Structure 1
């Protein structure tokens, strides 16, 4: 891609969003056309299995600022976000999901804060979670509470991956050797001058969530193990506590034996074996989690492979686009 770098890049990780994409484009394009500078939209297709790729191709015919990066396989949300950040060319880079739950209108406010007041990071933060279920509100509160204790108080509450980064912040992220980045923790850790804008999260415009409970648990595990050795210390304290408890039980047993008050039975023995066996398994599991990450880091396998980037392809090499076209609606109904 030749020519001067655009003022703004908008990175959108996309996975199976064929129904949401036309609505996203219809709402996002007028906002970006009005920022008063050049821009690009980097749509990262994370190995979608539906018609997302075809919809992106058709949208690109009508929206020249749309740039499509395709990953060879589904690599996960954070990996797709990494691919977009590493390939974005803008002086400022915004990351946002394709489901329109994070209002794209806030991009204007983010850009104004960065340009006028010199902030390198402008984080989008939810100011209301009343639309979430009690379970989701409780788990989210627990997650951010734990992360702020382990990583630092600079981690903003209720902040996801909707944010603006300056070119300096993006370059700093690119220089880190992270194989499994968790950006909601990694970005505040950089220490760049930052601020936030608040918003109310909206309902998904189409499709289903791509973050079920299993992925939320995986994100929590990645967050803890990537940024803290506290679980290893927990294993140490569990082992010490078990040793002390065993010592107390040993003294108690000896005293009762001397008094002749012992009653033969299997219950106490069974409980002790289960307890100490469980503690040992927890400790071994925690050690295994960290050893597995060391093993992955030593292997040096990249988190994703880029199959194609429309900015790198000459027109003569582009596959013929489908005849049918998806017109960007002017109004979201």
Structure 2
């Protein structure tokens, strides 16, 4: 009998957890010869999320939970769930039911056929979401797919079912700064995507603010592209060439018209600020990559577990 592990990261989701468990169980009942286990990961929630997980554990011994010592972020929660999952198939899902459980039977049939190593889901629209956030999301996919060799399907969710072989490949990547969408693509394997229209949360409010999404996108770009570093090089070269042209212009101007007036302080200060700004930008880009190296070489754990059952 096949075993399916369901990995569910949770942060302040006390309302959604029972609804998610009930909805997924109803769908799994339709799949014959499949044993399922749940791995709820409590990512430092401040509400009663852990208590809800423990209640489910009392009712169903197929339910397991991992509780972090503090909030480490969704990527750490995904990593912890994948490390503890024991099934020969593993699916990652959001607890807010924006990942439709109705796709589970189709995902299982497709992956069981042997044609695919992974079956994921992608949203074809963001109806009901903030338009500005949707705009930034679309632009993120456009930018990262242009500057990175690792291509990410626009609208792709973390929601996907994977074979044990693919899960092991994902776990073999030990980086501290994790960007799962990029990792899932980087490891390769044949993936099929199911399309669906956006679904609103079943309960509660999202913790993903526009600023958090922006930082997450910047991490993704830095993790899977060296384009920002290349940009810093080109900015430096452009600035250097511009300076040479400026010096050449001053020399020629002095030779052709010795009596001409000199430039004022305003223009001089403007040029200094321009060059200084470009230098700070380049240093900032390089500093971001150096910071990631610093975090990696410290070799700190991605997460710390306080409770587990």
TMscore range, shorter length: over 0.9
Q: What residue is the counterpart of 1:196 in the other structure?
A: 193
* Correspondence for 1:106 among 103, 108, 113: 103
Corresponding residue for residue 27 of structure 1? 23
Shift of 1:241: 0.4
Q: Deviations over 1:105-137 (max 9, x none)?
A: 112211111002431111111112233333122
Cα 1:56/1:304, change in 2 over 3 Å: same
The 2-side partners of 1:13 and 1:100 are apart by: 12
Q: Does 1:127 align with 2:109?
A: no
TM-score for the superposition, normalised by structure 1: 0.88
CA distance in 1 between counterparts of 2:253 and 2:28 reads: 79
State the Cα RMSD in Å.
1.6
Three-state SS of the structure 2 residue aligned to 1:101 is: coil
SS of match in other structure, 2:284? helix
| 2:298 alignment partner in structure 1 | 299
Within 5 Å, which residues of 2 pair with 1:155-194?
155-194=152-191
Q: Which residue of 2 aligns with 1:82?
A: 79
Flag the structure with more relative contact order, 1 or 2, with Cα contacts below 8 A and sequence separation at least 6. 1
TM-score normalised to the size of structure 2? 0.94
| Residue pair 1:8, 1:91 contacting (<8 A) in 2 also | yes
Contact 2:149 2:225 (8 Å CA) reproduced: no
1:16 is the counterpart of 2:15: no
After superposition, give the CA deviation of every residue in 1:179-216 in whole Å (9 maximum; x if it has no partner): 12111111111111111111122111111112112221
Distance 1:191 1:26 in 2: 33
**SS in structure 2 of the partner of residue 119 of structure 1:** coil
Aligned to 1:275: 274
Partner of 2:3: 7
Runs of 4+ in 1 over 4 A off after TM superposition: none
Shift in Å, 1:91: 1.0
User: Is the 1:103–1:201 Cα contact (8 Å) retained in structure 2?
Assistant: no
Secondary structure at 2:149's aligned position in 1?
A: coil
Unaligned runs of 5+ in 1: 311-333
Deviations 1:227-281 (A, max 9, x none): 1221111111000000111122222233333423334411211110111111110
Change (3 A) 1:261 1:107: farther
- Please tell me whether residue 69 in structure 1 is matched to residue 66 in structure 2: yes
Q: Is the CA contact (8 Å cut-off) linking 1:79 and 1:180 kept in structure 2?
A: no
CA distance in 1, matches of 2:206, 2:302: 22
The alpha carbon displacement at 1:303 in A equals 1.0
Return closer, same or farther for 1:74/1:209 CA change in 2, 3 Å cut-off. Answer: same
Moved more, 31-40 or 151-160: 151-160
Write the distance in 1 (CA, Å) between the matches of 2:229 and 2:151: 23
- Structure 1 contact 124–163 (Cα < 8 Å) conserved: yes
Whole-angstrom CA distance in 2 between matches of 1:192 and 1:170: 11
Matches within 5 A, 1:38-53: 38-53=35-50
1:195 alignment partner, SS class: strand
Structure 2 unaligned blocks of 5 or more: none
* 1:300 alignment partner, SS class: coil
Q: Is the partner of 2:113 in helix, strand or coil?
A: helix
Distance 2:119 2:188 in 1: 13
Deviation of residue 308 (structure 1)? 2.6
Check conservation: 2:123, 2:196, Cα contact below 8 A: yes
Partners in 2 of 1:264 and 1:154 — Cα distance? 50
Residue pair 1:11, 1:81 contacting (<8 A) in 2 also? yes
